[in-house]
Structure 1
Amino acid sequence: MEERTRAEVIAQALRKAIIEQALEPGAKLPEDVVGDTFGVSRTVARRALELLAAEELVEFRPRRGAAVSRPTLAEGRDLFAVRIDLERVVVRRLTGRLEEDQLATLARMVEHEHHAHHHGRPEYIRLAAEFHVVLGEMTGSLVLSRLLAQLVWRSALVLRLYGRPRWDSCNLQEHLDLIEALRASDAAAAEALMTTHLESVLLRGLDGGKAGGAEEPGDILRRYARADS
Structure 2
Amino acid sequence: MSRNSPRAETAYQALRQAIIEQALLPGAKLPEDQIGSHFGMSRTLVRATLARLQAEGLVDARPKRTATVAQPSLEEAKAVFEARRALEREAVALVVRRWRPEYGAALEGHVREEDAAKARGDERVSIRLAGEFHIKLAAMSGNPVIERYLGELVSRCSLILALYGRPHSSECAVNEHSAIIEALRRRDAAGAVALMDEHVGSVERRALLADAPAAESELGTVLTRYAEAIEARGSAIPLPAGKRRQTP
2:61 alignment partner, SS class: strand
Contact 2:111 2:178 in 1 (8 A): yes
Letter in 2 for 1:12: Q
Deviation, structure 1 residue 14: 0.9
1:104 aligns to 2:111 (yes or no): no
Q: Distance in 1 between matches of 2:225 and 2:167?
A: 24
Q: Deviations over 1:149-185 (max 9, x none)?
A: 0100000000101001345554311111111111111
CA distance in 1, matches of 2:17, 2:139: 18
> How is 1:21-60 mapped onto 2 (pairs within 5 angstroms)?
21-60=22-61
**1:49, distance to aligned residue in structure 2 (A):** 1.0
Q: 2:38, 2:222 → 1: CA distance? A: 10
Aligned equivalent of 1:155: 157
TM-score, normalising length from structure 1?
Answer: 0.93
Alignment of 1:1-229 (within 5 A): 5-121=6-122, 122-166=124-168, 170-229=172-231
Question: Following TM superposition, by how much is the alpha carbon of 1:138 offset from its aligned partner in structure 2, in angstroms?
Answer: 1.0
- Closer, same or farther in 2 for the Cα pair 1:38/1:207, shift >3 Å? same
Secondary structure of the residue aligned to 1:8 is helix
Instruction: Give me the TM-score of the superposition, normalised by structure 2.
Output: 0.86
Question: Would the aligned equivalents of 2:118 and 2:170 in 1 still touch at CA under 8 Å?
Answer: no
Cα offset, 1:228, TM superposition: 2.5
Provide the rounded CA distance (Å) in 2 between the counterparts of 1:193 and 1:52: 31
* CA distance, structure 2, for counterparts of residue 198 and residue 50 of structure 1: 28
1:78 to partner: Cα distance? 1.5
- Aligned-pair RMSD on alpha carbons? 1.7
Contact 1:73 1:208 in 2 (8 A): no
Residues in 2 aligned to 1:228 and 1:105: alpha-carbon distance in whole angstroms: 22
**1:73 offset after TM fit, Å?**
1.4
SS in 2 for 1:61: coil
Q: How high is the sequence identity, in percent, across the aligned residues?
A: 47
Inter-CA distance 133–4: structure 2 relative to 1 (3 Å threshold): farther
The separation in 2 between residues aligned to 1:204 and 1:128, in whole angstroms, is 14
Q: What displacement does 1:70 show? A: 0.6
Aligned to 2:238: none
Unmatched 5+ stretches in structure 1 = none
Q: Is the 8 A contact 2:117 2:126 kept in 1?
A: yes
Structure 1 residues 89 and 113: alpha-carbon distance in aligned structure 2, compared to 1, 3 A threshold: same
Encode CA deviations 1:41-92: one digit per residue, 9 max, x unaligned: 2222221111111111111134322111110112111211210111001111
How many Å apart are 1:129 and its aligned residue?
0.2
| Displacement after TM superposition at 1:215 (Å) | 2.2
- 8 Å CA contact 1:181–1:189 kept in 2: the answer is yes
Instruction: Give 5+ residue unaligned stretches, structure 2.
Output: 232-248
Question: Do the aligned partners of 1:136 and 1:144 also contact (CA within 8 Å) in 2?
Answer: yes
Change (3 A) 1:214 1:69: closer
